[in-house]
Amino acid sequence: MSITCDLAGRHALVTGAGSGIGAAIARRLGAAGARVTLAGRRAAPLHAVAADLPAGAATVVADCDVTDPRAIARGVAAARENFGPIGILINNAGAVESAPFGKMSHESWQRTIAVDLGSVFLVTQAVLPDVTAAGGAGRIVNVASTAGLTGYRYVAAYCAAKHGVVGLTRALALELAPTGVTVNAVCPGFTDTPLARAAIATIMEKTGRSEAEAITGMTAGNPQARLVAPEEVADTVLWLVSPGASSINGQAIAIAGGEVMTG
């Protein structure tokens, strides 16, 4: 692990923690001493991630649909019961559906906005009293995407939602600044997750390309010409929740090898 910090005694809630970036973040936080609530819809992947964390460092909240306020309320209550107030919130849950804009259904649009943007609003509101009570130690990190900083073909709803996440991050950062809480977003490019692997498989099936050729096409916009590792995103999140990042607020940090540059 390239980033180190001591989160002993801190309680972090990670949504979408069962795989990919969420799982990597949970492992990093647990290794740093945090008590981590792993939230998601399916129990088995969450328990598998929990097994990777130090003994007693993780609790699982399954059946947590981040688009359902009642499910969120149950999950947050269970998290508090197990580990106490939540001082660190990682809004990671998300999904993407692709289609040409003219063929995108209203239902697909609504699902994407609900999962990728609405969930950030709902979960953050549910956890906000705990995080603000933590004062200068309170942290909110939203996992957005380079799609929140630029546009991509065939994922208009996803781009709109992730741009919304970045805007919400910036607005909430200003609102909470007097409390000492920081709010930031990380914006990964194409990352080596199950979602990306499924997209690679689809490309291979539809085009006849090899896996290497499919990955080359997918990462063409990344000057480093590779997929981002989930652990690289997790290291950035770990830094953002550390005491050393207390002055980093309202930022959208691209983790994409230079594909998108912010300034």
Write out the two tokens for 16: 């979408």
Active site residues: 158
Euclidean distance between CA atoms 97 and 117, whole angstroms = 14
CB 241 within 8 A of CB 7: yes
Euclidean distance between CA atoms 254 and 105, whole angstroms = 30
The residues, any chain, with a CB within 8 Å of residue 107's CB and separated by 6 or more, are none
Euclidean distance between CA atoms 153 and 157, whole angstroms = 10
The residues, any chain, with a CB within 8 Å of residue 88's CB and separated by 6 or more, are 7, 10, 11, 12, 13, 29, 34, 131, 138, 139, 140, 141, 241
The residues, any chain, with a CB within 8 Å of residue 46's CB and separated by 6 or more, are 17, 18, 38, 39, 40, 60, 61, 62
Give which of 67, 69, 59 is closest to 39, Cα–Cα: 59
